Structures are given as structure tokens and as C-alpha cells.
Amino acid sequence: MNKHIIAITIAALGFIIGLGLLGNAIKNRNKSENTISVTGLGTKQFTSDLITWSGSFSKNNIDLKSAYDELSVDKKAINDYLLSKGVKQGEIVFSSVDIQKQFKNYTDSSGNNVQNEFTGYNLSQTVSIESKEVAKIENLSRNITEIINRGIEFTSSSPSYFYTKLSTVKQEMIAAATKDAKERAEKIAENSGSSLGNLKKATMGVIQITAPNSNEDYSYGGTFNTASKDKEASITIKLEYEVD
């Protein structure tokens, strides 16, 4: 008999607690529906203040030492040329020398490889520049044929452009995106006859940096354009407000 009463009591308590939890769930659900979620956008256009540029040069010779000596001559000529164009010595960095053995392949009538003949050494080196004098290095990269005209086998890469004050730009965009989102939320609340309550949640998107007026795609992890000197950055802020 006692066990039966205890079982009924536990069941009754469970029922009451269940009703309480259900009531809270309904209350919280209704409360969550009285919210406004908006997304604001912040953008900023700026010009890069840092440039990097690199090029490579090489020499071929059957004798390793001769190839190295010839490459050293080209290295000095390139270094002197860059200095003559106003590049600071501290901005010029030469990589270590890369050495590759070269072979000539011979095949028989069936296309099988029958002999590899050693034809010499290929030595290559890279020179790179990082500078805040963007216009100067940009112009230098476009007129690198002056080095080629000196008989140096030189291959130039395209410059890459960066901005050293990106953290400041990001803070400005976050402020602008937050303001934009809040104004949107206020307008929605006003048009619905409500008033904006407390901020419940704020979510920041990733920064996207593209060339102005370009059709570059945004990526999930963020886009960072280095090919364009002029850039446009954007960021989104998602805000969720309670509505009174």
C-alpha cells in the first residue's frame, strides 16, 4: 500500500515538473520570437602602403664553379642596378643559390629511355624587395627589361600590395557596420509599432579585401587581394535585439 502511494506521489510530482518545464519552453519560445535580427555592412577604400616584388636569375655551365662565378657576377650587377634606382640596400634580399643537375634523355625507336647524359649545372637565385616606397618599386618592376638588356637571364614576378594599418581600417568598418545594423533594426521596430530592446547577440563576419569595382568572389574564410594597389575592404555585423 505504501509503495503504491509513493509511486502515485512520484508520478504526480513528475507531471507537475513536466508542466513547469513545458510552460518555460513556451515562454522562452515566445520570447525568442520577439526579436529582430539584422545585418549591417561596413566598407572602406584605401591605397596600399607596402609593396613586395621579386625576380629570379640563373646560369648554366658544365662546370659548377664556373656557373657559380657567373651567377655571382649577375648578382652584383643586379644589386648595383637596384641601388642606382634608389632602392635601399636593406630592402634587397637575395636567396640562397639553388643548384640543379641537368641531363639529356635519349630514347630508342620504341620510346624507351636508354641513356641519360649529364649536360651541366643550372644555378638559380631569387632577389626580393619589400618597401614602403610603393610607386618607386612599382615603376622598377615595370622597367626590368633594363636588366635583361645587360645580358642577364632575369624573370620578374608581379608585385604584391599590402596595407600596414589594416587593424585601424577593421575597427572603423566594425563601427560603421554596427551603426548600420542598429539603424536598420530601429527602422524595422518603428515600422512595426514596437521599440528596440536590449542587444542579445552580435556576430561579426570575416573581412573581405578586393580590388574596387571588381567581380572578385567573397570566400567563407575571407578574401585578401594582393594584386591591386587600390583596395576595398568590407565586413558584416549581425545583431539580434529584443523587441518591446
Give the separation between CA 98 and CA 56, rounded to whole angstroms.
11
Q: Which of 43, 39, 44, 42 is nearest to 184 (CA)?
A: 39
How confident is the model at residue 33, as a pLDDT?
64
H-helix or E-strand spanning residue 14: helix 2-33
pLDDT band at 104 (very low <50, low <70, confident <90, very high): confident
Q: What is the pLDDT of residues 153-170, one digit of tens each?
A: 999 999 999 999 999 999
The better pLDDT of the pair 113, 49 is held by 49
Quote the pTM value: 0.77
Q: Distance between terminal CA atoms of the chain?
A: 54
Q: Is the pLDDT of residue 184 over 90?
A: yes
Q: Do 239 and 182 contact (CB within 8 A), yes or no?
A: yes
SS3 state at 53 = strand
Q: Do 52 and 87 contact (CB within 8 A), yes or no?
A: no
Q: What is the pLDDT of residues 80-100, one digit of tens each?
A: 999 999 999 999 999 999 999
Which three cell numbers mark 220? 567563407
